[in-house]
């Protein structure tokens, strides 16, 4: 059923936070279509300057934005502040990336002409954002698209529209018109209409594999529309021999439970060689027992807050119970202090004995532990997924890492680092059900403009050759 109104709630309290009628897709697209030619014709330097002004606008409301992110997502205030910092930093990174990835080139050409490669914007781009990083992740599409000369319609997740509205107001206050950088509140129906709209030239999506696959199917017969899919992962963190057990355990906890496990790069599976199993599992559990779960504005600040809503909390509890009833061995139970609020304790369960483990992204603080014989078996288990976003090796030698890097199937491969926290100065993306080989972050410039080859002379000069009679 189509929603007439979008209502956002504070997940940590259950209180209503924001509401608005849904946007009109046809009007939004027509408005963007009219505004796009003038924006595309602006000199690149002008578009860059306006994006720099946007960064300053975000700086001026940084406290307000961080507090709103915390209220609408339930994440701790310290983490929301780091998200705002990433929004600001994205501008300079995107400017450098555009110059690096889509710079103008002059090529050798015969008979005195010029050959050149330049890049053009696609036109009207739709950005569909997620709820876990409601400012930073869509901003990673929006800024590169605007620099390239596209008009952008941003439909945020229906769970975090208030942050999306504030983000787009910052673009508009910076001098980028509300037709070029447009906010459109809506639910799944509006998202589907934007994807299918004939006057939309590109779809830039961050979210679940299920939704990304639906977009891919919808546009399978329309190769002219650029599509970038940034989806989730069933990410492995592999622990092999290391004397630094506590450091290794900290990396596991950070990978699995930062943002309450609501990161596409979060570690879902701890794959540990049997020689390290007892010390690692014991230390990971000990650290997890100390981890503070609490309200976003509590003092002292919690490590993690709640998950996004009660439905997500219910599904995670059901997943934990499924593992438990199908051969899993609980290492740390998932508990819920209040059935009316989506606060969950971090959970750890050994699923080694489950023959057919579900290959799904469990988007929350639920870590599976899988014991294997050696590193070769660990790599095989790491690749035992249809996803391929992020993978980390903890411990081992440089030769072990070379083997891991060469054989593990993921778009992000780390050594003695968490699975999450990827740099915006590098490409960000995966394969399989994690993406469609159009990485974001630094490489977002690649899908925001297309290369145009030109052969040019200042006057028409030509001669006829073979196949012409004398005349």
- Which positions are catalytic? 230, 264
Cα distance between residue 95 and residue 51, in whole Å: 9
Cα distance between residue 55 and residue 52, in whole Å: 5
Q: CA separation (Å) from 434 to 185, 235, 390, 410?
A: 26, 10, 9, 9
Show the tokens assigned to 164.
């999306």
Cα distance between residue 35 and residue 45, in whole Å: 19
Cα distance between residue 133 and residue 75, in whole Å: 10
Show the tokens assigned to 13.
């309290």
Show the tokens assigned to 64.
């307000």
Show the tokens assigned to 173.
């206050």
């Amino acid at each position: 059923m189509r929603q007439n109104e979008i209502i956002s709630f504070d997940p940590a309290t259950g209180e209503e936070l924001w509401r608005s009628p849904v946007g009109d897709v046809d009007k939004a697209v027509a408005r963007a279509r009219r505004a796009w030619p003038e924006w595309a014709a602006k000199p690149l330097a002008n578009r860059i300057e306006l994006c720099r002004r946007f960064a300053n606008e975000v700086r001026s409301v940084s406290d307000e934005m961080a507090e709103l992110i915390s209220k609408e997502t339930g994440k701790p205030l310290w983490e929301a502040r780091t998200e705002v910092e990433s929004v600001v930093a994205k501008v300079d990174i995107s400017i450098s990336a555009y110059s690096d990835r889509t710079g103008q080139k002059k090529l050798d050409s015969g008979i005195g002409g010029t050959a050149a490669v330049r890049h053009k914007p696609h036109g009207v781009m739709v950005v569909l954002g997620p709820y876990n990083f409601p400012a930073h992740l869509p901003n990673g599409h929006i800024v590169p698209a605007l620099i390239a000369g596209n008009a952008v319609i941003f439909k945020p997740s229906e769970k975090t529209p208030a942050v999306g509205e504030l983000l787009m107001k910052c673009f508009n206050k910076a001098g980028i018109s509300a037709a070029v950088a447009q906010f459109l509140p809506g639910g799944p129906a509006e998202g589907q209409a934007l994807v299918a709209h004939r006057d939309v030239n590109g779809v830039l999506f961050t979210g679940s594999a299920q939704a990304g696959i639906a977009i891919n199917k919808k546009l399978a017969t329309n190769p002219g529309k650029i599509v970038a899919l940034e989806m989730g992962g069933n990410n492995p963190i592999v622990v092999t021999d290391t004397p630094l057990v506590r450091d290794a355990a900290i990396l596991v906890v950070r990978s699995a439970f930062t943002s309450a496990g609501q990161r596409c790069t979060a570690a879902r599976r701890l794959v540990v060689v049997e020689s390290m199993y007892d010390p690692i599992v014991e230390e990971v559990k000990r650290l997890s027992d100390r981890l503070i779960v609490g309200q976003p504005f509590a003092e002292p600040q919690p490590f993690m807050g709640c998950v996004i809503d009660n439905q997500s909390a219910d599904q995670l509890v059901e997943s934990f119970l499924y593992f438990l009833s199908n051969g899993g061995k609980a290492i740390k139970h998932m508990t819920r202090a209040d059935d009316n609020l989506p606060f969950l304790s971090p959970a750890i369960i050994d699923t080694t004995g489950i023959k057919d483990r579900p290959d799904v992204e469990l988007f929350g603080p639920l870590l599976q532990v899988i014991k294997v014989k050696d590193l070769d078996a660990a790599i095989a288990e790491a690749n035992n997924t249809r996803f391929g976003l992020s993978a980390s090796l903890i411990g081992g030698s440089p030769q072990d890492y070379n083997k891991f890097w060469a054989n593990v199937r993921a778009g992000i491969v780390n050594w003695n680092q968490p699975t999450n926290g990827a740099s915006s100065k590098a490409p960000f993306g995966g394969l399989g059900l994690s993406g469609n080989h159009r990485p974001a972050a630094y490489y977002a410039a690649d899908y925001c403009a297309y290369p145009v080859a030109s052969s040019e002379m200042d006057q028409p000069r030509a001669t006829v050759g073979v196949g012409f009679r004398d005349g």
